[in-house]
Structure 1
Amino acid sequence: MSSQPPFQPTPEQRDICESDAPTLLVLGGAGTGKTVTAAAAARAHLLLRDGVAEPGTALERVLFLTFSRTAVSQILKRSKGILGDVVHRVDISTFHGLAWQLVRDFGRYNGHGRYPSLRGEAESKLFRADPAVLSYDDLLPEALKILTVPLIGTLTRRRWSLVICDEFQDTDDQQWMLLENLTEAANRLLLLGDPNQMIYDSFLGWKGVGPRRLTAAQARPGAQQIALPLGSHRDPTQLMPTIGEAARVRNFAHPAFAHAIRQGRLRIVPGVDSEPAADDVCQAMEASRRDGAHSFGIFVHGNEPTATLSAALTERGIDHVAVGLSESYGEALKAIIAMLRFASGRSEWDEVLVRLAVFYTSTVRSKQAPQLAFAIGTDRTQGLLERRLADLRTELSAATDLDAAVGIAAKSWTELDLRRGTRSWRRASAEVGRLITAAGGETSGLDAVQREVDGIRASSFTEADAGDKSPVQVMNLHQTKGREADAIIAVFRASDYFGKEQEPFASASRLLYVVLTRARQQVTLLLPTAPHPLVAPLALLVK
């Protein structure tokens, strides 16, 4: 039996569950229980529809659209007592995940053939565009085209009688169009949002992200709005939400800051100038572990600094997942399969090199593919890496069977010593090993394993973390919404750029609010000697 206490709705939550508004906008601060309330509303909706359904008709379903499928899945798992026996009737997907599903299911009616192909960002950086292959950015436009096909659009809208959108305030124009296209007169929209967590408008405003999104929802016929009261379920003491809100309005004199510092709930470490600050992060993690923390969110501003810190933590033996690099898991699967095909005589060595180049590119956060990836893919490496690749080729050629080849592939990335993507490679190796074993370990089963791997790989392109549930997660500050951990460690650097804003930092201060409200127990802020004006007032709190 579960020890989870029964759901005790507040009056506002009860109103949400009982609402039949065609569009319901639910606003609430960080940790106010928007996702849990949505789960309760989904159950109430399904039970109500079941009660009036004609005998023999198909049971209705709910779609939960989100930016991080794993984050929402974990919340719903913790609240599974709320969904109860309807949990299997709630589908959870990212926007791009749903778009890819629509393209797979119906793309042949829109010129994409029976088996459409999807190219990840890494391949797009390495190879020229191929009009026959879809990229990540193609998915939403193609899904919207598919929904205009009359029969397909009607069938899709009938599948889900309630569509829930998490972090609605950050949807762009195409995502909003998808939401509107998924609903008709008998369907409903439940939109969860928080204007104070609107942190993408400063650089994604050109895509429609910003305050007008809430205005558009409120303008829909019959739309209603319900606000959840202040109060975080993530932190029952309400201390972290209080300092988060104080930071958002730039009230650093609020007594909650001093109280949080005295209690050890807020640790501010000035003078952290090393880049990456891996040693300081490790020390902060150890201090939080002594205080009882078991899960950690490590936040850095910028993609490249995040990847650099991740690589440094890997060198120090810190097992973690780098959020936002989920495609590296899929590309690792593809590279390992290429090794097995080479070992079994089914493909050439050039294919292995290309897949290794793609995987390496997927582990690097940059707008262009690294030069080393081009060297690997074209067999132009030199020195130690050239010798290591030659040794790998010899080992795979000599493998006696698939099991032996899997073992060689599993350790190959570590032996190449490229210092990125180790966790993704390890997970992929374990998964391929499992699939090979399930297929009987025979070479004849390799094609079936490859087809399954291709499906997993495509799915990894549309996820933020590909289901990796590591207790230590490293991410860009802008990937933090919807996530939570026992302890948060945020690294700020002197070179951080937060746009052209000045005090009172109306937009960037919302980012501080998000960062400070992710923690269940403790927040550690690592600040440089000369911090950016956005966070400089925090450094003064410890002087």
Structure 2
Amino acid sequence: MGPDEPRAAHPTDFPGGAAPSLAGPPPSPEAILRGLDPEQLEAARSVRGPVCILAGAGTGKTRAITHRIAYAVATGVVPEQQILAVTFTTRAAGEMRGRLRALGAPRVQARTFHAAALRQLSYFWPQAIGGPKPTLVDSKLGLVSEAGRACGLQLDRTGLRDLAGEIEWSKVTQTRPADYEATVTKANRTPPMPARDVARAYDAYEELRRERNLLDFESMLELTAAMITDSPQIAEQVRSQYRYFVVDEFQDVNPLQKLLLDAWLGDRDDICVVGDPNQTIYSFAGATPGYLTGFSAAYPHATFVRLVRDYRSTPQVVKVANTALRAAGSAGTAREHHLELVAQRPDGPEPAYTEYDDEPAEATSVARKIAALIESGTPARQIAVLFRVNSQSAAYEQALGDAGVSFTLRGATQFFDRPEIKKALHTLRGAAQGDDAAPLVATVRHILQQPQIGLTETAPEGRQAREKWESLAALAQLAEDVATERAGATLADFVTELQARAATEHAPGLEGVTLASLHAAKGLEWDAVFLVGLTEGMLPIIYAEEPEQVEEERRLFYVGVTRAREHLSMSWSLARSPGGRKSRKPSRFLDGLRPASPSLAAQRGERRKQARTAQCRVCGTTLLEAAERKLGRCLDCPSNYDEALLESLREWRRGVSTEQKVPAYVVFTDATLQAIAEHVPSSTTQLARISGVGAVKLERYGQAVLALCAGEAPERTGADEGETA
């Protein structure tokens, strides 16, 4: 049934097991409020509901609501055990619990709708329903396939997923099979197949599910709400247990979730909702911002707080986000709740807008730009490539692989389900049973470096081997983070942290560029974001025909833009394949954003002009390849260089990469080291002229490299000792 399922019905399972308590006394109310901005402070002090917090992207909404909860507990407004904070992902729930522990409120229940419902349904099942408990199905696809065959439908995998999605939409909007055809017509919704066929398959699916005593996630919410509504005794017990509610991402609530929330609340109004209508991107799945934008109508006496100070992104990124939304054609309620972000960070680089001939050229160029960012000091895990549909990922997987850049696919195998992580956790748990007072970081690294687990000092070659190494390296890095945050943390403390993260799917960050769809990127952020494939028909997607559908696509673009902290790059290609017809148009969402730019022909002419300025220092031939331009000569032209110096540079790089726990190429690529060995720079000015030595790397490694070039031993710097910028 999943990680949140209780092992057996037990009184402690209903309110939830207590989280680990803090070692020291909880912070005072004044300390909890310290450091909040005026709007966050207003939210935190509004401890009695109803409260509506409209929070723009990057404005610190999680900070505001966790400090509000902790302040309510610290001032005696409500006991911890009577608070239920609801969010939409286990990752977000885990993050919220972690913050609440740090704020002295470890027993607050922070859960997803589904996790909270499952615990309650499991606990009350014997008295409310009785008989054998149903089995919760993680995926509908098998049952949907069987139902489709029973109705004579021939479905491929795509059709099967579309039908399963349509059944989910029907259930969250409380649409019964008999009402489906009329409902989709009224909603102006285009079903993936004839509405009559969907209704037949939906009816067959529900019949099979009931016959086999199966429960899907939607039925679980519906049954929990019905159980509370139909039984006064259960309703009284639930409402006496939870009387203080916080709901995050309220713009994403669907009618079925609202039904359950109303059952929890009863006739009370001690509720705080948090959301941003500008980030409503799940309407296709039944979510509606109406509950958020209509909160004042439901609760005329509600307190409203608006968070607009953006702490995430530079003014340049914020300007793109604000401009994109100002162009929206919607009016009325959504316009009334529009949030104009106000940047709080210093200036950063201007966003980049780039047009390409075809998709492979776009992917190759993006990969090169990413490699350059990594060389200049941006960690790979702080870079993301975001696209509209998952099928766009393949070109970037190939291009990044060709460029020697590691990457991770968001939505691939869950971190804690990976075999190497399961083995590592098992070994760490066993080691934690002993009375070991050894330093946490050294102990964890020693365990992970055992042959049966396999963490090595440097990343191995090969994609699968590298992915395993990156997973284990992420565990080692997490141990360092825990040791930094909690002085004196033990291996047992670390294992407890890992178990909590595994239960909430809160994986540590992996050292690789993230590839993700725009929908999957919501709630995340990176230093550098590449929005790719921004063409009409892709964003907005071709089937977004109605004005509101187009505006939802615009909000999806807004979500993508606001994931970037500093570097934002937007690109599109005119054709799918090299030599193809260049008929694509840039996305309309770029109108008014991108500056007037030279034509592609002019851009290519400028690149050729720049290329002519780079000539081989041996034979004088024009250098076109990046590796040749970096070396300053043709690859096959002879060159004299000190082999001992090159080996010294490589040995130094190995030491730095080991200390910093990053792949060697993140320090300097082989081509850059060879260029240094050939030029033998004697000053920072000369070293800075070598391609691949940017300002960040010059400051971080410059003195060490120059010392090696002078035949001296480099001094250990902060960077060499593992510090990162």
Interval containing the TM-score (normalised by the shorter chain): 0.5 to 0.7
Select 2:515's aligned residue among 474, 477, 502: 474
1:64 Cα deviation after fit: 2.5
Distance in 2, matches of 1:14 and 1:110, equals 45
Q: Which amino acid aligns with 1:68?
A: T
**SS state of the match for residue 226, structure 1?**
strand
Are the counterparts in 1 of residues 386 and 518 from structure 2 also a CA contact under 8 Å?
A: yes
Q: 1:151 aligned to 2:233?
A: yes
Select 1:69's aligned residue among 81, 86, 90: 90
Q: 1:120 aligned to 2:139?
A: yes
Q: Which amino acid aligns with 2:321?
A: G
**SS state of the match for residue 486, structure 1?**
strand
Q: Which amino acid aligns with 1:220?
A: A
Change (3 A) 1:22 1:539: closer
**SS state of the match for residue 311, structure 2?**
coil
Change (3 A) 1:97 1:5: closer
Q: Which amino acid aligns with 2:258?
A: W
Distance in 1, matches of 2:241 and 2:548, equals 48
Select 2:263's aligned residue among 181, 185, 190: 181
Q: Which amino acid aligns with 1:67?
A: F
Distance in 2, matches of 1:154 and 1:307, equals 53
Select 2:531's aligned residue among 490, 493, 512: 490
Distance in 1, matches of 2:594 and 2:218, equals 40
**SS state of the match for residue 272, structure 2?**
strand
Q: What pairs with 1:120-519 in structure 2 (closer than 5 Å)? A: 120-121=139-140, 123-124=142-143, 130=209, 131-148=212-229, 149-184=231-266, 188-201=270-283, 203-204=284-285, 207=286, 209-221=287-299, 223-235=301-313, 237-250=314-327, 264-271=349-356, 273-274=358-359, 278-294=363-379, 295-306=382-393, 319-325=406-412, 467=507, 469-470=509-510, 472-492=513-533, 494=535, 495-496=537-538, 497=541, 499-500=544-545, 506-519=551-564
Q: Which amino acid aligns with 2:533?
A: F
Distance in 2, matches of 1:293 and 1:528, equals 26
Q: 1:94 aligned to 2:94?
A: no
Distance in 2, matches of 1:330 and 1:119, equals 17
**SS state of the match for residue 88, structure 1?**
coil
1:510 Cα deviation after fit: 2.1
Are the counterparts in 1 of residues 88 and 249 from structure 2 also a CA contact under 8 Å?
A: yes
Change (3 A) 1:265 1:65: farther
Are the counterparts in 2 of residues 492 and 531 from structure 1 also a CA contact under 8 Å?
A: no
Are the counterparts in 1 of residues 324 and 589 from structure 2 also a CA contact under 8 Å?
A: no
Q: Which amino acid aligns with 1:113?
A: P
Are the counterparts in 2 of residues 21 and 223 from structure 1 also a CA contact under 8 Å?
A: no
Q: Which amino acid aligns with 2:270?
A: R
**SS state of the match for residue 523, structure 1?**
strand
Q: Which runs of 5+ in 1 are unaligned?
A: 338-405, 408-416, 432-454
1:106 Cα deviation after fit: 3.5
1:23 Cα deviation after fit: 1.8
**SS state of the match for residue 587, structure 2?**
coil
Correspondence for 1:38: 65
Cα shift readout 1:286-329 (whole Å, capped 9, x = no counterpart)? 23334543312331102443477568767977554433456x66
Distance in 2, matches of 1:314 and 1:93, equals 38
Correspondence for 2:81: 60
Are the counterparts in 2 of residues 43 and 83 from structure 1 also a CA contact under 8 Å?
A: no
1:168 Cα deviation after fit: 0.8
Select 1:534's aligned residue among 575, 582, 588: 588
Correspondence for 2:54: 27
Distance in 1, matches of 2:469 and 2:216, equals 23
Q: Which amino acid aligns with 1:470?
A: L
Q: Which amino acid aligns with 2:316?
A: L
Change (3 A) 1:96 1:475: farther
Are the counterparts in 2 of residues 276 and 305 from structure 1 also a CA contact under 8 Å?
A: no
Change (3 A) 1:536 1:519: closer
Select 2:43's aligned residue among 16, 19, 28: 16
Are the counterparts in 2 of residues 104 and 116 from structure 1 also a CA contact under 8 Å?
A: no
1:234 Cα deviation after fit: 1.2
Are the counterparts in 2 of residues 32 and 232 from structure 1 also a CA contact under 8 Å?
A: yes
Change (3 A) 1:308 1:167: farther
**SS state of the match for residue 529, structure 2?**
strand
Change (3 A) 1:297 1:226: farther
Change (3 A) 1:282 1:520: same
Are the counterparts in 2 of residues 269 and 527 from structure 1 also a CA contact under 8 Å?
A: yes
Cα shift readout 1:396-453 (whole Å, capped 9, x = no counterpart)? xxxxxxxxxx99xxxxxxxxx9x99x9699979x99xxxxxxxxxxxxxxxxxxxxxx
Change (3 A) 1:426 1:10: closer
Report the TM-score, using the length of structure 1 for normalisation.
0.63
Cα shift readout 1:117-147 (whole Å, capped 9, x = no counterpart)? 3332565566665532323443322332333
Change (3 A) 1:214 1:186: closer
Are the counterparts in 2 of residues 509 and 534 from structure 1 also a CA contact under 8 Å?
A: no
Deviates more, 1:527-536 or 1:483-492: 527-536
1:42 Cα deviation after fit: 0.5
Q: Which has the larger radius of gyration?
A: 2
1:92 Cα deviation after fit: 2.6
Correspondence for 1:378: none
Cα shift readout 1:65-118 (whole Å, capped 9, x = no counterpart)? 2223324644775xx4x7645341233322233333334434454367347333
Change (3 A) 1:330 1:162: same
1:228 Cα deviation after fit: 2.3
1:16 Cα deviation after fit: 2.0
Distance in 1, matches of 2:570 and 2:362, equals 12
Percent sequence identity over aligned pairs: 21
Are the counterparts in 2 of residues 12 and 226 from structure 1 also a CA contact under 8 Å?
A: no
**SS state of the match for residue 527, structure 1?**
strand
Distance in 1, matches of 2:554 and 2:97, equals 29
Q: Which amino acid aligns with 2:290?
A: R
Q: Which amino acid aligns with 1:243?
A: V
Larger RCO, structure (CA 8 Å, separation 6 or more): 1
Q: Which amino acid aligns with 1:513?
A: Y
Q: Which amino acid aligns with 2:302?
A: Q
Are the counterparts in 2 of residues 489 and 523 from structure 1 also a CA contact under 8 Å?
A: yes
Distance in 2, matches of 1:151 and 1:316, equals 63
Distance in 1, matches of 2:124 and 2:89, equals 24
Distance in 2, matches of 1:265 and 1:162, equals 44
Distance in 1, matches of 2:95 and 2:353, equals 29
Q: Which runs of 5+ in 2 are unaligned?
A: 1-23, 148-207, 329-340, 424-451, 454-461, 476-498, 575-583, 599-725
Distance in 2, matches of 1:104 and 1:316, equals 51
**Aligned residues: CA RMSD:** 4.8
Q: Which amino acid aligns with 2:317?
A: M
Q: Which amino acid aligns with 2:507?
A: G
**SS state of the match for residue 219, structure 2?**
helix
**SS state of the match for residue 573, structure 2?**
coil
Are the counterparts in 1 of residues 94 and 506 from structure 2 also a CA contact under 8 Å?
A: no
